[in-house]
Structure 1
Amino acid sequence: MTDVAIRPATGLGPVTRRRRPVAAAVTFVLVAALTLFGPLLAPHDPTESVDMPFAPASAKAPLGTDYLGADVLSRVLAGGQTLALVAVAVLVLTYLAGATAGMLAGFRGGWTGTVVMRLADVLMGLPALVLLAVVVTGLGRGVFGAAVAIVIVLLPDVVRLTRTATGQALAHDYVEVAVARGESTMSILGREVLPNLTPVLAADAGVRFVSAVYAVATASFLGLGVQPPSPDWGLMIFENRGGLGLQPLAVLAPAVILLTLLLSANVLADRLVGSSQGVRVPRFRRRPAMSAGAPAADEGADTVPDAVVSVSGLTVETVADGRAVVDGVTLAVGRGQVLALVGQSGSGKTTTALALLGHARPGLVRSRGAVNVLGTELTGLRERSLRRFRADHTAYVAQDPRTAMPAHLRVRDQIDEVLRARGVPRAQRAERAAAALRRANLPDDPAFRSRWPHQLSGGQLQRLSLAIALAHEPALVVLDEPTSALDPANTARLLAEFTGICRASGTAAVIVSHDIAAVAAVADTVVVMYGGAMVESGPAARILTAPVHPHTRALVAAAAPGPSDHDPRDAEPILRVRGLSVDLPGTGPVLTGAGLEVAPGGCVCVVGASGSGKTTLLRAVAGLVPARTGSIELAGDDVAPSVARRSAEQRRRLQLVPQNPYDSLNPRHTVGQIVARPIRQFRLAAPHEAAARAVDLLEQVGLSAEHAGRRPAELSGGERQRVALARALAARPDVLLCDEVTSALDRTVAATVLDLLNRLRRDTGVAVVVVTHDDLVVRRMGGAVLRVADGVVADAESVGTVP
């Protein structure tokens, strides 16, 4: 089966469904058992002669004899053990060496990465058989020489794979937090990177095992591996090839069993790789109709004329316990219309939006209802047809473009790939790409189009995702929190421009958002979700001015600014930054002469448009990007510009809280392990007390001891952000550096997190520096406000806090 990969900006990634390879699994297990335990079943000593050479089958030798007169059956039963053990040993050594080298090359970069990758390229460029012959000649014929040679042959591929996967893993916020905390290289690679490479490496190992078995058998066939008279399948084929006409079983028996092992292992490896890269599409399971409460709405979904997408009675449940995540949703969107799905984290709005594309996340299943797009019922399509339909007619913009966008493609290639897949002629792609960038309020000059994703700000990445989604003019576009990384001015402008394009082109748009005020300004219809159900829907103006449901009223109230109260701090600053300037490779100056001061228990809000340099300022203070000029003082002591040159005590006292709660926690660790790590790293408690201290910190941020045993995937966005705060507080810092900590949260949860930060300031005296584009943060946090524009602190002011 050939899988069609759909880019995150235009689809939902590779989606596959494969039958379980039961026959291949059973065959592989049987052959594997034979290779390991076959010698115990051999009726004769496989090295002793029992009859004349190449004797036919007989009662004494059921498969006849080989060129030495030894029993073929006994040699076949005994001939796989060495091969299997050597192949496994080769595989283990290859991954130990290759994964270590690949991770170091990806993490260190520079000369380390260059040397490792050039050596891998040299080894890859040499013919495998020549390399095998040269190494065996140097080390001598036999199992050891052949094993070393095969490790060298397989090593380059593993190095390249690991380096690429490491580069992707390093883009996650939880790795950056570990770097800012001063974790050692081996700790970062072993604790943060390697656990997330394990699924990729495990899937690749299945394929590589087949290569290892084949290589070991080939070495024996060439007389370079196992030496006579030891039994070996590859050696048997080589030794008995001259008597094929006299006694074919002496060659065919080892050849057939070797081929069976390779084919069954290859089928299983193919399925393993497919399952690691794809997502199973759950079958549409019909169940008896269930009653669902009707939401407060101004008009029914079935009254929308010329609907591009219509949903009727959609119910999505968990596979494990049948709990309804989305319950009885009915809606429709016409051509050129904009529908906004709003609600708290966990309300079911993203699950509903994905269902419009015929997709359910792992662990969920559509149990009831219909989804119709452009007259096509998606629940009845096969996987291949569904993927093709999505690619041709829909687009999807993920919430976090940093992890959803390929890191190895430049800006121009990101858009060109989409246009090429849609059959747009090469001559038209450049202009179409430039137009898409302009529509998203991005530069369309050659310099910008040559940038890599890591050279763009979060806001620029989000706008690039929108440009990619609109480049092929889809009939339906679904956007998951498309403006979470943008400031209010850019949010309003981009949403207005985006919806204007949709209305002009007849594209139906569904926007998932927690910012009800922002999306209501451009949406035709607002659907409010709570607990998986639609609780209210209607025209945007009515929802904002006369909300009916209590949850809707709470969302509207949270979006409104509150009263202020001055929050002066006159103590000596704990953190003082002066004249900080930062240049980024390939970008030039991004921050010039910036400074700030914050006292214990105080707060500084750094605000500005997307790409203005405010996050660069925070990262420079954290030591993650080198400052060209300027100074940083912590409690009166100078702090080195690079985190690597700072003392452990300085790294402890400055703690970073990343922007995205969905990417700031390592999915392979439990909450308790995540929070306890800084305690162990900085030796702030005895090893046996770290777990209990972690529970205390979770309770301090409003969570319970029960959360310590969960993994991040089991938490809501607000709970994840609280865990990130608990992890930062575990180091007992003097200053928290918070990067857009509420941008991915709905208004009510964001207000709760901000109140928590204010309480921590008051109770612990920790100072807070907050980068934000949200006026709600400024109003609730109070303190000093630094406004950054084009890399320069334009002005400073002081505001109060919301009581």
Structure 2
Amino acid sequence: MDKATPARGRGRLRAVVAAVVLVAAVLLALLGPLLAPHGTGEVLDMPYAPAGGSTPLGTDHLGADVLSRFLAGGRSLVLLSLAALAAAYVLGASAGMLAALRGGRIDPVVLRAADVLLSLPAFLLLSLTVVALGRGVAGVGAATAVVLLPEIVRVVRATTLQALQHDYVEAAVARGERTAYVLLREVLPNLAPVLAADAAVRFVGAVFVVSTAGFLGYGAQPPAADWGLMVLENRDGLSLQPLAVAVPAVGILVLLLAANLLVDAVFPAARRPRTRRRPVVVAADAVADAPVLRLRGLTVGADGPSGTRSVVESVDLELAPGRVLALVGPSGSGKTTLALAALGELRPGLALRQGEVHLAGLPVLGLTERALRRLRSRHAGYVPQDPRTSLAPTMRVAEHIGEFLRARSVPRAQRPERIRSALRAVRLPCDDAFLRRFPHQLSGGQRQRVALAAALAHRPDLLVLDEPTSALDPATAAALLADIKRLREDGGPAILLVAHDLAQVASAADEVAVLDAGRLVERGPVAEVLARPASATARRLVDAARMTALPGPREVANHADTPALVLRGLEARRGARRVLTAIDLSVDPGGCLSVVGPSGGGKTTLLRCLTGLHPDWSGDLRLAGAEVPHGLRGRSRDRLRMLQLVPQDPHDSLNPRHTVGRIIARPLGQYRPELDAEALRREVHRLLEQVGLAAEHADRRPEHLSGGQRQRVALARALAVEPAVLLCDEVTSALDAPTADTVIALLAGLRRELGVALVVVTHDLTVPARLGGQLAVLADGRIRESGPTDRMLSAPTDPVTAELLAAVPSLPMARPAPAGITKQP
């Protein structure tokens, strides 16, 4: 049974109870005037008369019925709070999203205005606005909106900036979508859950502000009925008739508490399902020969549109001290899910079905959050996949590693030497200048090494590395794997190495475990699996890995009279720093230009200059002989159409809120408005078939596609506008080897059949080797050498090219397997 089911059941029950209470309170407030037995201004008895007769709650300071005034007084509070919240969100969300997207002068103006409002106490801001606009319902509503506005602007701007980092947003901006479309159709749907939670919290704040305004006499004026006004009017008679104050105060309190409880139940903070507490004793040291990690029957499931499915199913696995186990398999096979489950962590939407996990001899599953943190902090380290997000952008290198040590209770006096020791272990500088660097001052390889140093600083028993080389160039990846191999040889921790490239990890790993569709289909020593793979999945991976040897020369496309793209003298800056210098490139129609180079050399910046996403550059760019402005805003629709971007990450290049059909149909509708609904549908199906997908994929969302299928959809979206040049940014880096082969073959076919020119940025030299055409090596912001691909791969003249070629991984020769380790069926 799903161990998270009781927790989810309790969460749903709390949400239902809170929703019922809130709905009842709101309905009472809205319908109360219809239920009032007397008029709100009707005098029935002497002031502050006790309960009895026709006044079951007594009378107020006027002698009017407290119950009638209470029933009539909630409507204005609820409606005014909702109206003020809606006005604040329309203005605040518009200003926040616009500031984030447009930047420039708009962003600081919006931020400074929000800062001015935030600098004033809410009470003072409320009073100043009411004085300026006048007392009454309209003045209080406007004042409440002004009080809520600055924080909404800040929240929306911050979440929008985060959303703008997604590749699908950049793809929309690069193809010339209007600002309104990008904000409303690409950004806003993905902000909806966050903004809904924030709006619910802001509603509580709006109720509080409106109630306070009523209590201060700013809102509804006598003899109108209002809960806040009732508290103000009857406070002097609290000892004589407490119900006249207590009843409206309780009404406000119930409304606030019910709204808060509903927010907490519907939008819970990320937390682990509560389970039976187990006493935990952290072991002093793992037994020398005992497995550091042991999985038994581990099954993790997910609920999808077609029912429950297993992401990881009945996996048994052991990892001994000092060993490196490479966990490989095709995209979507469950590698990362298994690695995180080994640390007691599950992604949202996943649940443990059954099984056991032991880390350093201690159970992982079913622990309290505090006990699990203690266990992991002592015995485990984890390095995530993406070096761009593995380090906190506001923390220096020393602070980042030091925070890991502080969280693990390492004494302050020991931290400086432990930090330097960890950096030396991964072959990074440990001088004061390097310790003061921020992540943006590091290359991709350096960031990954700093993350590795942080994970190693407390000397864990188990180190989990999730695709540590996927975003790195061959030389940097080879150096990182060499560090991993050296850690193994120096008696370092047991290492679980998640990877999709068998050729890369073969040199560093002792054993290989092959996953397919969540099942462990094969396991054994590296040499044994490479020499005699037993499963079909392992054979495909081995065959793909053996293809990493650079193939022979490819036919180069004939030169056309007019190149598809010509770039001359590009000089690009990022702030005061020059990042690209004297870049000259050209590619013919149907030709291919591959740009390779080490991490941090400027490859992605070059693509952003070509697309107009990075306008801070000088030089000359021409498409089909016509000059192209540097920034997006100066480019005509035809120039935007001719140059299309295929982003790097297949998991981030498609908007998760849209179907495949909608994703492809949007650029069709943008550039071919003559197509009616039926013609649009047929064209979407044709494009899907062109990239090797079926028409049925049009109704799916990206979450139901594999990595290779997502990359094909991204290609179909780019091809929809019939571009002259495709800009491909590391389109194979996140794919397993067999899937990457199919994408490369597809690109070669598009080049050959459609005459589309390709500019391919990659760190994998096997990609240009298979595509042919021209090759340019970019390092330190300069083109180090360029020419026909076959010539440069066979006879490089620059040391950078030679280093990249030498780092291309190859499978090691078979060697005897260690005793006692056998392959699993």
Question: TM above 0.5, one fold?
Answer: yes
Residue identity opposite 1:608 in structure 2: G
Measure the CA separation in 1 of the matches of 2:394 and 2:193: 21
5+ residue gaps, structure 1, are: 1-14, 285-302
Residue 154 (structure 1) aligned to one of 141, 148, 151: 148
Q: How does 1:324-363 map to 2 (within 5 A)?
A: 324-363=310-349
Q: How does 1:163-178 map to 2 (within 5 A)?
A: 163-178=157-172
- The answer for the alignment partner of 2:822 in structure 1 is none
Say whether 1:694 aligns with 2:697: no
- The answer for the alignment partner of 1:145 in structure 2 is 139
Residue 530 (structure 1) aligned to one of 512, 516, 529: 516
Say whether 1:782 aligns with 2:799: no
Say whether 1:717 aligns with 2:744: no
Post-superposition offset of 1:438: 5.3
Contact 1:16 1:278 in 2 (8 A): no
Contact 2:275 2:368 in 1 (8 A): no
Percent of aligned pairs with the same amino acid = 55
Q: Matched residue pairs, number?
A: 767
- Give 3-state SS (helix, strand or coil) of 1:79's partner: helix
Say whether 1:466 aligns with 2:455: no
Q: Which moved more, 1:746-755 or 1:352-361?
A: 352-361
Measure the CA separation in 2 of the matches of 1:392 and 1:34: 54
Contact 1:304 1:333 in 2 (8 A): no
Residue identity opposite 1:305 in structure 2: D
Residue 570 (structure 1) aligned to one of 539, 558, 575: 558
Say whether 1:238 aligns with 2:224: no
Residue identity opposite 1:220 in structure 2: G
Residue 39 (structure 2) aligned to one of 45, 49, 52: 45
Contact 2:484 2:508 in 1 (8 A): no
Post-superposition offset of 1:77: 1.1
Post-superposition offset of 1:476: 2.0
Contact 1:55 1:64 in 2 (8 A): yes
Post-superposition offset of 1:684: 5.4
Contact 2:325 2:497 in 1 (8 A): yes
- The answer for the alignment partner of 2:291 in structure 1 is 307
- Give 3-state SS (helix, strand or coil) of 2:308's partner: coil
Contact 1:441 1:494 in 2 (8 A): no
Measure the CA separation in 2 of the matches of 1:319 and 1:397: 28
Alignment TM-score, normalising by the size of structure 1: 0.90
Measure the CA separation in 1 of the matches of 2:265 and 2:485: 42
Measure the CA separation in 1 of the matches of 2:139 and 2:755: 64
Residue 60 (structure 1) aligned to one of 37, 40, 54: 54
- The answer for the alignment partner of 1:677 in structure 2 is 666
Contact 2:291 2:319 in 1 (8 A): yes
Q: How does 1:379-458 map to 2 (within 5 A)?
A: 379-403=365-389, 405-409=391-395, 411=397, 413-426=399-412, 429=415, 432-433=418-419, 435-437=421-423, 439-440=425-426, 453=439, 458=444
Residue identity opposite 1:30 in structure 2: A
- The answer for the alignment partner of 1:278 in structure 2 is 270
Contact 1:601 1:762 in 2 (8 A): yes
- Give 3-state SS (helix, strand or coil) of 1:228's partner: coil
Residue identity opposite 1:314 in structure 2: L
Contact 1:206 1:272 in 2 (8 A): no
- The answer for the alignment partner of 1:9 in structure 2 is none
- The answer for the alignment partner of 2:760 in structure 1 is 770
- The answer for the alignment partner of 1:8 in structure 2 is none
Measure the CA separation in 1 of the matches of 2:11 and 2:417: 44
Q: How does 1:15-94 map to 2 (within 5 A)?
A: 19-20=11-12, 21=14, 22-94=16-88
Say whether 1:367 aligns with 2:357: no
5+ residue gaps, structure 2, are: 1-6, 277-286, 794-825
Q: Quickly say closer, same or farther: Cα 1:373–1:17, change in 2 above 3 A.
A: farther
Measure the CA separation in 1 of the matches of 2:491 and 2:288: 18
- The answer for the alignment partner of 2:281 in structure 1 is none
Contact 1:460 1:611 in 2 (8 A): no
Post-superposition offset of 1:730: 1.2
Contact 2:553 2:769 in 1 (8 A): no
Post-superposition offset of 1:619: 2.0
Contact 1:357 1:390 in 2 (8 A): yes
Q: How does 1:401-800 map to 2 (within 5 A)?
A: 401-403=387-389, 405-409=391-395, 411=397, 413-426=399-412, 429=415, 432-433=418-419, 435-437=421-423, 439-440=425-426, 453=439, 458-501=444-487, 504=490, 506-560=492-546, 561=549, 563-572=551-560, 573-585=563-575, 588-626=577-615, 628-683=617-672, 685-688=674-677, 689-799=679-789
Residue 317 (structure 1) aligned to one of 301, 321, 343: 301
Residue identity opposite 2:700 in structure 1: R
Measure the CA separation in 2 of the matches of 1:517 and 1:644: 44
Contact 1:787 1:794 in 2 (8 A): yes
Measure the CA separation in 2 of the matches of 1:716 and 1:370: 28
Post-superposition offset of 1:782: 1.3
Contact 1:49 1:70 in 2 (8 A): yes
Contact 1:580 1:628 in 2 (8 A): yes
Measure the CA separation in 1 of the matches of 2:419 and 2:98: 36
Measure the CA separation in 1 of the matches of 2:615 and 2:421: 35
Measure the CA separation in 1 of the matches of 2:744 and 2:399: 39
Contact 1:147 1:216 in 2 (8 A): yes
Measure the CA separation in 2 of the matches of 1:448 and 1:674: 44
- The answer for the alignment partner of 1:297 in structure 2 is none
- Give 3-state SS (helix, strand or coil) of 2:748's partner: helix
Post-superposition offset of 1:90: 1.0
Measure the CA separation in 1 of the matches of 2:104 and 2:551: 52
Q: Which moved more, 1:504-513 or 1:61-70?
A: 504-513
Contact 1:178 1:188 in 2 (8 A): yes
Measure the CA separation in 2 of the matches of 1:41 and 1:605: 76
Measure the CA separation in 2 of the matches of 1:283 and 1:529: 29
Contact 2:288 2:321 in 1 (8 A): no
Q: Quickly say closer, same or farther: Cα 1:563–1:399, change in 2 above 3 A.
A: same
Residue identity opposite 1:311 in structure 2: L
Q: Quickly say closer, same or farther: Cα 1:450–1:104, change in 2 above 3 A.
A: farther
Residue identity opposite 1:635 in structure 2: A
- Give 3-state SS (helix, strand or coil) of 1:786's partner: strand
- Give 3-state SS (helix, strand or coil) of 1:56's partner: coil
Q: Deviations over 1:424-444 (max 9, x none)?
A: 455555555455455555566
Contact 1:220 1:226 in 2 (8 A): yes
Measure the CA separation in 1 of the matches of 2:526 and 2:452: 23
Measure the CA separation in 1 of the matches of 2:156 and 2:395: 18
Q: Which moved more, 1:618-627 or 1:749-758?
A: 618-627
Measure the CA separation in 1 of the matches of 2:274 and 2:716: 36
Say whether 1:181 aligns with 2:189: no
Contact 1:462 1:485 in 2 (8 A): no
Q: Deviations over 1:43-92 (max 9, x none)?
A: 11222222222121112111111111111111111111110001111111
Post-superposition offset of 1:579: 2.2
Q: Quickly say closer, same or farther: Cα 1:185–1:617, change in 2 above 3 A.
A: same
Contact 2:324 2:494 in 1 (8 A): yes
Measure the CA separation in 2 of the matches of 1:179 and 1:441: 40
Measure the CA separation in 2 of the matches of 1:77 and 1:306: 70
Q: Deviations over 1:329-350 (max 9, x none)?
A: 1111122221111111122222
Post-superposition offset of 1:407: 4.5
Measure the CA separation in 2 of the matches of 1:448 and 1:643: 37
Residue identity opposite 1:316 in structure 2: V
Alignment TM-score, normalising by the size of structure 2: 0.88
Q: Quickly say closer, same or farther: Cα 1:417–1:148, change in 2 above 3 A.
A: farther
- Give 3-state SS (helix, strand or coil) of 1:738's partner: strand
